[in-house]
Amino acid sequence: MELYFKVLFKVLFIANSLAIPGISRGSEILELTESNFQTQIKHMKCMFLYATKDGCEKCELLYHKFLITAQTFERERDITFGKVSDKTLTNAFEVTSFPGIVYYEYGSAMPKVYLGDITPAALAKVVSDAMKIDLKKVDRRFALQLTTENFHAVIDTDKQYRLVMLHEADDEDEVDLYEEIAESYENEPDIVIARINVDSDRKLRREFNSISYPSFYWYEKGVVEKKKRYGGGLNIDQMIRFINQEGGFYRSKGGRLNPYAGLIKPLDEVINKYGKDLYGIRNFDKIKRELRAEIAKLPVNQDKELTDYYMHLVEEIEEDRTIETLDESRNRLFREMSGVGPLEFDQLVRKKNIIQKIIDIIGLHLLEEISDGNIDVPLDNGPQYGFEEHGLEFHEEL
């Protein structure tokens, strides 16, 4: 099979110059199967495929990132974007982790597999490198433009939050601001930030009740049809506060994670309860027992890597018999941040925040001790543990 594909790729690559008009390009997504593979590939100069498999939830969550990339390069006539779930083809492409990106560099007859982070920025770099395009000259996108072809696939799901902006064709400044908001959440798989040009897609305009533009609609995760209209204007800071509180995110403008990202309040409460004991290097069996009890109560979708990290740090203090090990762990994280992808970088930031929280708790307990107990040791008890109130009203719509 491998030899067959190698020969086929080389033979059909020669036929690329015979490309015919009408082939799927730009933001159109071609479904590639074993039956149409030979016909389609001979018309292509450069191809990027989103490789999936049946039952892959991660493939569904990240697909809109691939669609955004296709829209970013929609004016590049030599690029074809497609999707492949045919098991024969994914096996031939040697995709071992899903979703994966299979692509052909411009001028090459052999496919490559990209298994890195699937974010609009990461994929744009892969495409521009493969096409030998200067990425700095690419008008990158981060908000998905909804069309009649992709609208229901994106909206009719309960697995993600969805924020939709309706705008008119000449709302260019508003679209630019909205793109900044979308860029701030490009590393979040649980939210789709999308927009609809009501002038170019009047059919989708009728899905909403807006009479003025731009207007914004929020869909809850776990709810398909019901939406609510965002009651504020297009203010970046205000809208980021809104998204953070409604969706449980921890982003700031530009996409950086704030100091609350990664923190798990019930586990922080245990650490706070035993702050003096951690400083005094004692009662570790009791601390770990209570941490395990709180971990058992957490939702099933809680990030296990982060819950384990709390326990790991406590065990490191116990083993090294000093809280200075926290500084060493933090420095190790900073070293690991060099050269990693955006998603792994974010996870390291979350871990760094956990270390900093434990250091702060121990420090406050120590300060209380040397101040004869005259200083309260607070634990942040804000509305949602670090989320600022956005103070907006909603208009419910069915």
Report domain extents, the chain. 2-137, 144-258+389-397, 265-370
pLDDT digits (tens, 9 = 90+) for 54-76: 999 999 999 999 999 999 999 88
* CA separation for the pair 51, 100 (Å, rounded): 5
Torsion sign (Cα): 246, 252, 255, 260: negative
Residue whose tokens read 């955006």: 342
Architecture of domain 144-258+389-397: 3-Layer(aba) Sandwich (3.40)
Q: What dotted CATH number matches 265-370?
A: 1.20.1150
**How many C-alpha atoms does 334 have within 13 Å on its Cβ side?**
8
- State yes or no: cis peptide before 378, omega within 30 of 0: no
Q: What is the pLDDT of residue 339?
A: 85
For residues 395 and 230, the answer to whether their CB atoms sit within 8 Å is: no
E-state strands within the chain: 29-31, 46-51, 79-84, 100-103, 112-114, 144-145, 161-167, 191-197, 215-219, 227-230, 394-397
* CA separation for the pair 277, 128 (Å, rounded): 54
SS3 (DSSP) at 45 = coil
For residues 253 and 236, the answer to whether their CB atoms sit within 8 Å is: yes
- Alpha-carbon distances of 169 from 196, 210, 213, 214, rounded to whole Å: 10, 15, 10, 10
**pTM of the predicted model, to two decimals?**
0.84
Q: Where are the alpha helices (DSSP H) in 73-191?
A: 87-92, 120-131, 151-155, 172-184
- pLDDT values of the chain reduced to their tens digit, one per residue, 398 residues: 444 444 344 433 333 333 323 333 345 788 888 888 777 777 677 889 999 999 999 999 999 999 999 999 998 888 889 999 999 999 999 999 999 999 988 877 788 999 899 999 999 999 999 988 888 888 899 999 999 989 988 888 889 999 999 999 999 999 999 999 999 999 999 999 999 999 988 888 888 888 889 999 999 998 877 889 988 888 999 999 999 999 999 999 999 999 999 999 999 999 999 999 999 999 999 999 999 999 999 999 899 999 999 999 999 999 999 999 999 999 999 999 998 999 999 999 999 999 999 999 998 888 777 666 555 556 665 555 666 655 544 444 44
> Nearest 5 degrees, angle CA 375-CA 295-CA 60?
120
SS3 (DSSP) at 216 = strand
Amino acid letter, residue 264: I
* CA separation for the pair 209, 277 (Å, rounded): 58
Q: What percent of the chain has pLDDT over 90?
A: 62
For residues 183 and 152, the answer to whether their CB atoms sit within 8 Å is: no
pLDDT digits (tens, 9 = 90+) for 111-142: 899 989 999 999 999 999 998 888 888 889 99
* CA separation for the pair 293, 309 (Å, rounded): 15
According to CATH, the topology of domain 2-137 is Glutaredoxin (3.40.30)
The answer to whether 2-137 and 144-258+389-397 have equal CATH topology is yes
For residues 379 and 269, the answer to whether their CB atoms sit within 8 Å is: yes
